Structure 1
C-alpha cells in the first residue's frame, strides 16, 4: 500500500463527504441497523476490517474481513496504514486507512462499525469524523438481548455486560446518540447523519 496521508491532510482532501462511526455496546443492534441502511442506500460504503483471525468456513477474504498474517498486520501498524486497531480474544482487528480515504475523496459517504476504543482512535486520527452512539432503550433490554442470543456461555455474556457498562458511560464522548427503539427510525436517523455534508466540525448533541 502507498504511504497514508496524515490526518490533517485527510481532512483537507475529502471535501464534503462524511466519515461516520457507529458504536455502542455489544447486543445493541449495530450490524442489524447497518444492514437495513445499506439495503436502502447501497452507495454508503462500509469499511472492511483487516484481521489476524483465521477465516471461518463460511467466510471469504475481502467480504467479511481482509485476512492477514501477524507479520502483515505488524507492517500495517508500523507504516501507519490503520486508522484504528485493537486486540480481541487473541486476534487483532483494524481499519485500513487508504480505502477509507479513497472513498471519501470520491465523494462517497463512509461508515465504520467500531467498538469504543476504535471510535476513540478515530477521533484522534480523523477528528472530522461524525461519531454516533447507538444506545439500548434500557439496561434491562440490553441484558435480555444478550442473554437470549443463545450462542455464548453465561460467562461470556457476563463479560460483555461488564464491558457494556463502560461503553454506556462513554456516551457523552460521541457527537450524537440514537436510542434503538425502532429499526426503521434508527435507520432513517443514521442515514440522515451519514449523508449529511461534512463541515470538518461536529456539533455535539
Structure 2
C-alpha cells in the first residue's frame, strides 16, 4: 500500500484487447517499480487509452477534452513518473498512443522520468522503441530511462507470466532505473505559482 508521500506513478497503456499483453507488461513494470521504492511503494494510477479512444478523437477535432480524458491528462501532468506502453503496429507506436500524447500539454512531461515499453508479435519490431518511441518522449523533454522493455508474444507463458530469461531481467533493470529517478524526486503537492503584482515586481527590481 502506498503511503501519503509516495511518488505518483501513472501507467499509460495503449492495449486494444482485453486482456492485453500491453496491459500485462505495464502491470509488471509498475509492480517492479513499486517494489523498488521500498515500504512506501508508489501511488499507481493506470490510464487505459482504449477506454478514452472516442474522447481522444473528439479532442483532436474540437480541441476540447471530455471529463474522463481531462482527468487522465491531469493525472499524467501531475505524476512524478510515467510508464508508457504501446503495441507496435507497422514498425511504430499505435495511433491511439500517439494521439493521446498529441493532446497532452507540450510541457506536461518536461523533466519527468518516463519508462518506455512496447509489445509486438515478434522480436523483429523491438527497435521501434529506439527509432520511434524514445524520440517522441525526447521531443516532449521527458527524462527517458536508458533501458526500454520490449515483449514479443513468445516472451509470455501460457499462463500470462513472463518466461524466465531476458524479459524479467529487463523489466527489473528498467524499473530500477525509474525507481532511482523517482527516489531523487520526492512527491510533494504541486502548488500554483503565486501571482506577484506588477508594482511589487518593479519595486523589487529597483531595490
How high is the TM-score relative to the length of structure 2? 0.36
Bigger radius of gyration among the two: 2
How high is the TM-score relative to the length of structure 1? 0.36
